[in-house]
Structures are given as structure tokens and as C-alpha cells.
Structure 1
Amino acid sequence: MDITDRVPRQALPPVDIVRVALGRRVLDIVVASTLLLLLAPLLGLLVLLVRATSGPPVIFRQRRIRAGGGEFTLYKFRTMRESSAGPGVTGSSDSRVTGTGRLLRRLSLDELPQLWHVLRGDMTLVGPRPEVPDLARRYPPECRWVFRHRPGLTGPCQLRSHAYAAQLDGRPDPEGYYLTVLVPERVALDAQFLSHATVGNVVRVAARTVLYVLTAPWERVGRHDRGGEA
């Protein structure tokens, strides 16, 4: 949802941070810096595309939860109409999403600016999805441990977010469904990865992400593969 800084800056009480291992951090820096360099022409084209079809601002900014319960400002290409009101979660057929935004979401191109956050250390390549503060403070208590970990550009949950988004369509209370049904499912998937968050497993999830992006244009709507911009 394209609304920024409407939630309190201190959304969660501080929690102990689980540090990213040195090998993973080195991989983050190498991959993020390399991709930012190689994809610079594509990023420039996307800036022009979003501006031409949706107008300014091109970049969507929103507060998200960092490891330890603090916050950072996340950047994405804007995919929704400016100042669109609505729930804090986005279904696959959400009318707030622009035509260009729907294409960017399908190809996950709206996420590319987050490589900057990986390089800076706000995020890591593979980890839990970065959550918005308003939803984070409403998580079931047994799921809040996930905020001890650095959020990821991709991860097991992100690879299913299109399917998750489809499940929100037509719900009278999409936020309630997200918090009571989808969040526990997502946290369980995160737990499986985080219990063995080795460099090798990071590479495997990253490879699955590349495969997903390459096959996304032919993916049938509703197929359980990936999916979500909250």
C-alpha cells in the first residue's frame, strides 16, 4: 500500500538480534554490488517506464521492520496508485495496482531497488519478508521471533507470495486473514530456512528465485509459486 510513515516509528519492543554469518554477509555484498552495476541500464529504463505510465513519484517508500524490531525505510518501484486507501495487504487482483505495476510485480522487477538495502545491511539476500510496522505489532505472539532476523530480498515465503496474494482476493477482512492464517504459514517456512541458513542454502534459494523470475511470465494466476507490496 503506497502510504508512508503513517505508523509509529517504535512499532515493536526491541528483541535480540540474530546476526548474519560473515560468509553470508560477504555474499550479500558481492551479489548486491554486482547486480546493481550490471542492472543499472535496466533500473534506468524502469524509472522512465514508471514515470511515463504512472507519473511521479517513481520510488515507493515505506517503513519496514529491521532485525531487532527497529525500522528502516524500504525502497521499491511504485506499483500502486498514489495515495490509494485500503488494507495494508495486497491481493492479486487489487484495483489499486496500476497496469505497469501489475507487470512489474509479475516479474518481481519492483523489488530491484532493495538490492541497495542488501548492500547497506538493512536486508540480506535470503530471509523473512520485510514487514510493515502496523502489521508486525499485530503478529501472533508465537510468530514475533521472526523479527530477530534480518529481512530478505527473497526467501521461501517470497517465492510463494503470488499464491498468498491470490488467497487474499475477495476476503472481507484481508488483514485479519493474513495475520491469522498466512503469517503462521510464512513463519513456519522461515523457520525451516533459518534453522539451516548456510551460504549453500542461500545460493539454492537465490537460484530458485532466478528460475521463478524467468518462468513468471508464463505462470498461471493462482499457481502456488511465489508472491506479494504490502
Structure 2
Amino acid sequence: MIFKRIFDILASFCGLLLIWWIFPVVAFLIKKRMSDGPVFFCQKRVGKDGKLFTCHKFRTMMLKHDGSSVSVAGDSRITPFGAKLRHYKIDELPELWDVLIGTMSFVGPRPDVPGYADKLTGDDCDVLKLRPGITGPATLKYRLEDEMIADYVERKRKQGDIRSIQEIAVEYNDTVIYPDKVRLNCYYYRHYSFIKDIQMILATVFDFKVQFAGEEV
């Protein structure tokens, strides 16, 4: 995948040159509307070969929250301005820096927090052979993940489930969404195609569906 890395370096460098002006604008708005903390959200994530790296994003949550890694649409931890940054994926623009320095790629599995990747076994560990990506087949399929989890929580509540929103959300993520993401990302590793990479990048930018692993994502 040497050509993939060359593309990542060139595309991320050009991308940062083109959108650098967005960073001070977003930073100013975050400090104005979310003045309780820093502009950037920096967190240790599991990267290639299981090594930890620092992932950079614009902050979208209140500084003090319960720390759960699974978010739900309408989550009280996410500020109104943060919700807009998430909706338009602006919060992920700082990850271009992570791509440039080689801890991430444009296309690959989303970087997991420690605790998920550690549980991978057998052939599922192929996911760890990839650099984490800004986008990818699993990211495209679950582009509305927060809303999907919120719908599941609402259904469970109507069925009389008295657990907290976070408990129900974590259950759905751990038993349905995460295993399916691992399946898609393993397929991506075993059937890598640079053409598919370009298709998925374009699908992310222009919000359309692509065929992958026998389904539409």
C-alpha cells in the first residue's frame, strides 16, 4: 500500500493548504460558544499495529461529561454548535494533520478508543494492520450512527426498558454496530482497491452511496 501512503501525504498537504483558513474561524466560534474548554479534542486512540496515537478533532462536547465513547443524537453532552460541526463533519478536519504525519489515512477503519480494539481476536485482528481512516466503508454505512442509536434507544424505551440511555446505546453499539464495522473493515483490508478508496472519499464529500462487499454503503 505504498501508493496509498503517497496519496495520503500529497492529498492531506494540499487539503491543509486549501482549508487552513477554516481552522481559525472554527476556533474562534468554539471559544465564543463553548468557552469552558480548549478548541481541540485530543484523545489517545488505537492505531496501526495496535499502537496508541493522539487523534485530533475540533471539540464538540462540554468539557465535563461522563466519558462514554458512544454518543447518541440529541446527547446532552454535545453542545448545539458542536452538533453542527458533527453534522457537517467539520469537527474531523484536524485529522488531516494526522493523515499527513502518518498516524491516519484518508480511508480506513475509524480509530477506536482502547477497550474495543483490545478485544479483537482471530482474523478480526486484520483491522489493526490498517492505519485508521477519516472515512471508510463502515463510516459510510454508519454515517448517521448517532441517529440510528437514538432510534434504537427510543424503541427499547417504548418496550419498557428502564436502563439509562447510555447503557442501551452501548449495548446496541457493542452487539450490532461494532461487529458489523469490524466485518466491513476486514473485507476492506482483504480486498483493497485504490479505486474504491477514491470512490469512498468522493462518496463522503458529496454524500452518495457506493457498492461495497455486496451491499450499498
> TM-score of the superposition, structure 1-length normalised?
0.78
Mapped pair 1:199 → 2:180: no
The whole-number CA distance in structure 2 between the counterparts of 1:115 and 1:99 is 24
2:169 matched residue in structure 1:
174
Higher relative CO (Cα under 8 Å, sequence separation at least 6) belongs to: 1
**SS at structure 2 position matched to 1:30:** helix
Deviates more, 1:191-200 or 1:21-30: 191-200
Cα-to-partner distance string for 1:9-65 (whole Å, 9 max, x where unaligned) = xxxxxxxxxxxx111111001110000010011111111111111013000011100
Distance 2:62 2:96 in 1: 23
Say yes or no: does 1:107 pair with 2:102: no
Q: Which amino acid aligns with 2:28?
A: L
Alignment of 1:122-137 (within 5 A): 122-137=103-118
* Mapped contact 1:138–1:179 kept (Cα < 8 A): no
Residue 222 of structure 1 corresponds to none
Task: Please say if 1:46 is aligned against 2:26.
Answer: yes
Unaligned runs of 5+ in 1: 1-20, 214-224
Letter in 2 for 1:122: T
Q: Distance in 1 between matches of 2:172 and 2:46?
A: 20
Q: Higher helix fraction: Structure 1 or Structure 2?
A: 2
Paired with 1:25 and 1:139, the residues of 2 have a C-alpha distance of 25
Unaligned runs of 5+ residues in structure 2 are: 154-164, 209-215
**Letter matched to residue 178 of structure 2:** V
Give the Cα separation in 1 of the matches to 2:121 and 2:70. Answer: 17
Alignment of 1:210-221 (within 5 A): 210-212=205-207
1:163-197 CA distances to partner (integer Å, 9 max, x unpaired)? 32223222543223212211111122223322332
Equivalent pairs: percent with the same residue?
Answer: 33
Tell me the secondary structure at the aligned position of residue 76 of structure 2. Answer: coil
Give the alignment's TM-score, normalised by structure 2: 0.83
Quick one: structure 1 residues 165 and 202, their matched pair in 2 at CA, closer, same or farther if it must change by over 3 Å? same
RMSD: 2.0
Q: Which moves more between the two structures, 26-35 or 145-154?
A: 145-154
Out of 128, 150, 163, which is 2:144 matched to? Answer: 163
